[in-house]
């Protein structure tokens, strides 16, 4: 039927480039590492690697949730609010009731359950009422954060329940030097979640359905995909991931601060978009997203090394987001004109 | 020979939307191995009938018999499970997924699979494409493929789900006649496999060629039904419109000695078309035809300044003009009705009146550049009456009109400006017979008043019916010119195929 040569003139090149430009991203990361390493030799160290990994572990889980939302053609700005709500609430709840205080897994199950419950808000408004995703999640972001500060608490809590306290000082790797840098064992669940999401997107009907809905929701409905069900799944699952990511963050920093996370959406969304997920829906991959998160983290790390102030770092990430979206729009436009040429004279 | 047992028999179907009767006691059946044509003007109830059978709309009364079972209404999943597939005009494919997934996933989702195995998906897709004997790269993304391939993918997808009955809504509008031939070969092979097909089409030549039976709907009731051999073109048109419409009218001759309205000299655009030279006399209707990708639309867009040409010259009324943008073209007195009226021709959500004056606001303003309401209203009324647009009020949105009336609004926008030269791209695609006839008549009337008209189209009978001359484009060059006695459907088709 078809041969490899049909796919493109230079298949090895297109494979290296990846279907979502993963190759270009990997190359960018490499160039960045070499460049910064030349200017600032201290960049080339185990410390940097551990730092980047530590800084990426929560964002990569948030990014998995954002990835599936973006593939389906939506956008989510409520995930950080869900994350901090779950992380902070679990600490407060466990401290007050003593329920599952000695077991960290119980805390994570609790965070996941709260995350799913908050995801219902998004799912009901988006899948049930067909409201636009940006507006809905902007609204739920406000509701969730406000409700947390009003009902759960607004104080910074330094005391942790026993189970999570132990987990927070459990390190996988420790690098010693002038100051020691350590990598939390929580990187393991983060990696597992990435693998899980990758399998889900590739090998399950729900996963392929997410791509189908992102490609054309009406066509998906006509083809027999349960579109409303898929949308419910997307926002409940994104809520679950945000809940887990939130508790990992709170555990890692060892200080439950309800004012954290919200406002950090930019880094995650920029990472997903730079990772090749199409803001128009229908495209995106886990490997690309992971690379995107690493790239953002690396850039922030290098900017710190080079002595660039924090406000400029934020501007740099914002610029990257625009560059990522701009590149997508440009390639979509050139793709469209070439398709128009083929379909010349045809009505839509 | 007794006719085979029908695959599907819908009996006494009725459906109301609010106070409007969409279908009244309609019966319709499909037999194995036949093409049953469903014809009717826009709004006659064809789409509603398809939606009822596909389970998208529940009927008020009637039954659907299929596979020995009787249903009062179906759900989309039930309909798919029973082997009913509808190929919509837009094909309903996923542009971002591969060919293999577009075909294979739909089959797997119908089987309620939870896990996707890429190898199985590929195999299903390969088998389905094999069945209709076409070769398309399984790994190509659908968004990169031409319309004809998408159509074949949609058919393969229906087959991959074991379709017994396939409805095709206007399957040929987006195809050139050569692709239509290829599609018909596929249709013949499906017939041999015992699949029942239902064609919804405005193009009567095709209908008469490919169908065994025909059912014509008018105003929600069956106007006529029977073997296609009992009908000729005129009889079908009469059943559809309720009146006799003659289509073939020889064009009158043109006064040729005058100054040409439009003179195009050596027009070219790198990689698209080259050395295009022709002229249009006052009162002349010139057709431009060519295969898909021949450059026929690019020439029109260059003349309207959408994608400006990079070589050659254009004169209007003997004055050379520079056409770098649509504004230039409008100033020069050129109007353009684009092929895709829904996205380019009209503002769907705006009122009919606003659409009509949208192209000529600069002529309707008084002091301070404010629109003069009285003059605007008069223009709207005159244009709407002249075009015989069927509307409840000029304030209704264009979206609420049928395809034929929408096209009239697109036309009216330009006629209100009274351009010297009007270029139209596929002006009657998706327009029903009655409206088509009236639109063509209107264009002829305008040409008699002295307007120069250029029609880009691959509807050969239409071109032959109204054009004084037809120019044939092949690979970006004008390769033939037919007029007078030489201008027949046959000669045009021969030029195209050469």
- Give percent of chain B with pLDDT exceeding 90: 26
Identity of the residue in B106, B126, B426 whose CB atom sits nearest the CB atom of A223: B106
pLDDT at B272 over 50: yes
Task: Tell me the count of A-B CB pairs closer than 8 A.
Answer: 130
Residue B338 lies in a domain: no
B204-244 per-position pLDDT tens digit: 777 778 899 999 988 888 988 989 888 887 788 788 777 65
Residue A155 Cα, gap to closest chain B Cα (Å): 45
- State whether B43 and B163 are in the same domain: yes
Identity of the residue in B86, B109, B297 whose CB atom sits nearest the CB atom of A225: B109
Residue B103 lies in a domain: yes
pLDDT at B249 over 60: no
Residue A195 Cα, gap to closest chain B Cα (Å): 16
- State whether B398 and B429 are in the same domain: no
Do the Cβ atoms of A223 and B293 come within 8 Å?
Answer: no
B408-440 per-position pLDDT tens digit: 888 888 888 888 999 998 887 767 777 778 888
- State whether B226 and B273 are in the same domain: no
A222 vs B: CB within 8 A: yes
Going by their DSSP bridges, the two strands B61-66 and B69-71 should be labelled as antiparallel
Q: What is the pLDDT of residue B442?
A: 85
- State whether B171 and B88 are in the same domain: yes
Span B8-31, average pLDDT? 88
* pLDDT tens per residue across all 348 residues of chain A: 333 333 344 566 666 677 777 888 888 889 988 988 888 888 888 888 888 898 899 999 999 999 999 999 999 999 999 999 999 999 999 999 988 888 899 999 999 999 999 999 999 999 989 899 999 999 999 999 999 999 999 899 999 999 999 998 888 888 776 677 888 899 999 999 999 999 999 999 999 999 999 999 988 988 888 899 999 999 999 999 999 999 999 999 989 999 999 888 999 999 999 998 998 899 999 999 999 999 999 988 888 888 888 888 889 889 988 988 888 888 777 665 554 444 443 333
Collect all residues with Cβ–Cβ distance below 8 Å to A229 and sequence separation of at least 6. none
pLDDT at B3 over 70: no
Residue B17 lies in a domain: yes
Q: What is the pLDDT of residue A3?
A: 38
Q: What is the pLDDT of residue A257?
A: 93
B453-490 per-position pLDDT tens digit: 999 987 777 888 888 899 999 888 888 888 888 888 77
**Number of domains, chain B:** 3
Span B66-78, average pLDDT? 88
pLDDT at B1 over 70: no
Q: Which one of B384, B400, B418 terminates a domain?
A: B418
Q: What is the pLDDT of residue B343?
A: 63
Residue B1 lies in a domain: no
- State whether B70 and B196 are in the same domain: yes
Q: Which one of B371, B391, B418 terminates a domain?
A: B418
Residue B374 Cα, gap to closest chain A Cα (Å): 36
- State whether B312 and B433 are in the same domain: yes
Span B325-332, average pLDDT? 89
Residue B143 lies in a domain: yes
Buried b (16+ CB within 10 A) or exposed e, B272-289: bbbebebebbbbbbbbbb
B133 vs A: CB within 8 A: no
**Residues in A touching B110 (Cβ below 8 Å):** 224
Q: What is the pLDDT of residue B421?
A: 92
Give residue B54's domain range.
Answer: 8-241
**Residues in A touching B460 (Cβ below 8 Å):** none
Do the Cβ atoms of B426 and A283 come within 8 Å?
Answer: no
Collect all residues with Cβ–Cβ distance below 8 Å to A58 and sequence separation of at least 6. A83, A190, A245, A246, A248, A249, A252
A79 vs B: CB within 8 A: no
- State whether B404 and B424 are in the same domain: no
Q: What is the pLDDT of residue B123?
A: 94
B425 vs A: CB within 8 A: yes
- Tokens 């209704």 belong to B396
Tokens representing residue B68 in the block: 């020995």
Ordered by start, the domain boundaries in chain A are 56-263
Residues B463, B287 contacting (CB under 8 angstroms): yes
- Three-state DSSP string of A2-42: CCHHHHCCCHHHHHHHCCCCHHHHHHHHHHHHHHHHHHCHH
Span B334-359, average pLDDT? 80
B108-130 per-position pLDDT tens digit: 887 888 999 999 999 999 999 98
- Give percent of chain B with pLDDT exceeding 70: 93
- State whether B17 and B123 are in the same domain: yes
Identity of the residue in B96, B113, B117 whose CB atom sits nearest the CB atom of A215: B96
Length of chain B: 498
Q: Which one of B403, B418, B433 terminates a domain?
A: B418
Identity of the residue in A206, A222, A347 whose CB atom sits nearest the CB atom of B430: A347
CA-to-CA distance for B197 and B492, rounded, in angstroms? Answer: 30
Q: What is the pLDDT of residue A1?
A: 38
With CA atoms as reference, the chain A residue closest to B149 would be A343
CA-to-CA distance for B345 and B329, rounded, in angstroms? Answer: 16
- HSE-CB of A163 using CA atoms within 13 angstroms: 17
B163-213 per-position pLDDT tens digit: 999 999 888 776 777 778 888 888 998 899 899 999 987 677 777 788 999
Q: Determine the residue among B87, B105, B131, B345 to mutate to test chain A binding: the one whose Cβ has the most chain A Cβ atoms within 10 Å.
A: B105
B426 vs A: CB within 8 A: yes
B77 vs A: CB within 8 A: yes
Specify the DSSP element, H or E, that contains B446.
helix B433-448
Residue B373 Cα, gap to closest chain A Cα (Å): 35
Interface predicted TM-score of the whole assembly (ipTM), two decimals: 0.83
Terminal-residue alpha carbon distance, chain A:
29
- State whether B68 and B208 are in the same domain: yes
- State whether B76 and B183 are in the same domain: yes
Q: What is the pLDDT of residue A4?
A: 38
- State whether B395 and B486 are in the same domain: no
- State whether B393 and B428 are in the same domain: no
Residue A64 Cα, gap to closest chain B Cα (Å): 20
Do the Cβ atoms of A224 and B110 come within 8 Å?
Answer: yes
Q: What is the pLDDT of residue B253?
A: 61
- Tokens 């179907």 belong to B13
Span B151-167, average pLDDT? 90
Closest residue by Cα to residue B457 from A339, A341, A348, A344 = A344
Measured torsion, CA atoms of residues A270, A271, A273, A274, in degrees rounded to the nearest 10: 110
With CA atoms as reference, the chain A residue closest to B174 would be A346
The CATH number that applies at residue B305 is 3.40.50.300
Q: What is the pLDDT of residue A36?
A: 86
A41 vs B: CB within 8 A: no
């Amino acid at each position: 039927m078809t041969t490899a040569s049909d796919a493109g003139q230079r298949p090895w090149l297109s494979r290296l480039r990846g279907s979502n430009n993963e190759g270009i991203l990997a190359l960018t990361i490499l160039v960045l590492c070499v460049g910064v390493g030349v200017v600032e030799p201290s960049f080339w160290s185990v410390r940097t690697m551990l730092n980047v990994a530590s800084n990426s572990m929560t964002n990569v889980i948030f990014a998995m949730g954002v990835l599936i939302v973006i593939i389906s053609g939506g956008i989510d700005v409520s995930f950080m609010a869900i994350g901090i709500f779950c992380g902070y609430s679990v600490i407060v709840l466990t401290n007050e009731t003593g329920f599952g205080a000695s077991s960290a897994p119980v805390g994570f199950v609790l965070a996941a359950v709260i995350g799913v419950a908050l995801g219902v808000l998004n799912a009901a408004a988006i899948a049930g009422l067909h409201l636009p995703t940006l507006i809905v999640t902007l609204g739920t972001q406000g509701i969730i954060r406000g409700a947390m500060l009003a009902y759960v608490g607004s104080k910074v809590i330094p005391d942790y329940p026993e189970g999570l306290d132990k987990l927070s000082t459990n390190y996988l790797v420790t690098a010693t030097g002038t100051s020691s840098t350590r990598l939390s064992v929580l990187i393991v669940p983060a990696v597992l979640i990435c693998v899980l999401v990758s399998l889900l997107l590739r090998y399950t009907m729900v996963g392929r359905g997410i791509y189908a809905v992102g490609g054309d929701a009406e066509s998906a409905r006509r083809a027999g995909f349960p579109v409303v069900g898929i949308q419910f799944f997307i926002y409940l699952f994104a809520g679950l991931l945000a809940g887990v990511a939130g508790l990992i963050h709170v555990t890692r920093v060892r200080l439950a601060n309800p004012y954290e996370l919200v406002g950090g959406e930019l880094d995650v969304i920029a990472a997903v978009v730079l990772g090749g997920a199409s803001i128009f829906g229908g495209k995106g991959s886990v490997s690309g997203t992971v690379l995107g998160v690493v790239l953002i983290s690396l850039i922030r790390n290098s900017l710190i090394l080079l002595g660039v102030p924090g406000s400029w770092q934020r501007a740099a990430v914002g610029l990257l987001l625009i560059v990522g979206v701009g590149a997508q729009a440009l390639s979509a436009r050139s793709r469209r004109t070439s398709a128009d040429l083929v379909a010349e004279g045809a009505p839509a | 020979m007794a006719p085979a047992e029908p695959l599907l028999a819908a009996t006494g179907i009725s459906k109301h939307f609010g106070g409007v009767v969409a279908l009244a006691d309609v019966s319709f059946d499909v037999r194995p191995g036949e093409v049953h044509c469903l014809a009717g003007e826009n709004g006659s109830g064809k789409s509603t009938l398809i939606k009822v059978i596909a389970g998208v709309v529940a009927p008020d009364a009637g039954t659907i018999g299929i596979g020995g079972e009787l249903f009062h209404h179906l759900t989309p999943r039930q309909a798919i499970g029973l082997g009913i597939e509808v190929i919509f005009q837009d094909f309903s494919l996923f542009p971002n997924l591969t060919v293999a997934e577009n075909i294979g996933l739909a089959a797997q989702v119908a089987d309620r699979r939870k896990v996707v195995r890429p190898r199985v998906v590929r195999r299903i897709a390969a088998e389905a494409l094999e069945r209709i004997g076409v070769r398309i790269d399984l790994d190509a993304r659908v968004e990169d493929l031409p319309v004809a391939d998408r159509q074949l993918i949609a058919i393969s997808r229906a087959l991959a789900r074991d379709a017994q009955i396939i409805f095709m809504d206007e399957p040929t509008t987006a195809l050139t006649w050569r692709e239509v031939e290829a599609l018909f070969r596929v249709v013949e092979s499906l017939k041999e496999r015992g699949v029942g097909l239902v064609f919804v089409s405005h193009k009567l030549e095709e209908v008469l060629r490919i169908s065994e039976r025909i059912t014509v709907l008018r105003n929600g009731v069956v106007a006529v039904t029977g073997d296609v051999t009992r009908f000729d073109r005129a009889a079908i048109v009469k059943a559809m419109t309720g009146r006799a419409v003659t289509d073939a009218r020889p064009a009158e001759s043109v006064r040729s000695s005058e100054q040409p309205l439009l003179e195009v000299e050596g027009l070219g655009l790198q990689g698209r078309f080259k050395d295009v030279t022709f002229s249009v006399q006052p009162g002349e209707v010139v057709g431009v035809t060519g295969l898909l990708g021949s450059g026929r639309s690019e020439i029109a867009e260059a003349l309207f300044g959408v994608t400006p040409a990079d070589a050659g010259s254009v004169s209007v009324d003997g004055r050379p003009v520079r056409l770098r943008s649509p504004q230039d073209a409008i100033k020069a007195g050129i109007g353009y009705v684009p092929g895709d009226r829904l996205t380019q021709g009209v503002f769907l959500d705006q009122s009919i009146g606003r659409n009509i004056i949208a192209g000529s606001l600069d002529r309707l303003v008084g002091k301070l550049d404010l629109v003069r309401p009285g003059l605007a209203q008069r223009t709207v009324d005159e244009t709407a009456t002249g075009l015989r647009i069927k509307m409840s009020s000029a304030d209704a949105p264009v979206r609420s009109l049928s395809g034929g009336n929408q096209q009239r609004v697109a036309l009216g926008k330009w006629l209100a400006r009274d351009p010297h030269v009007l270029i139209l791209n596929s002006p009657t695609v998706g327009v029903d017979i009655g409206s088509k006839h009236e639109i063509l008549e209107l264009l002829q009337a305008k040409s008699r008043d002295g307007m120069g008209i250029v029609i880009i189209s691959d509807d050969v009978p239409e071109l032959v019916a109204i054009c004084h001359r037809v120019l044939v484009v092949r690979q970006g060059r004008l390769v033939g010119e037919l007029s007078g006695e030489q201008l027949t459907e046959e000669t045009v088709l021969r030029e195209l195929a050469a």
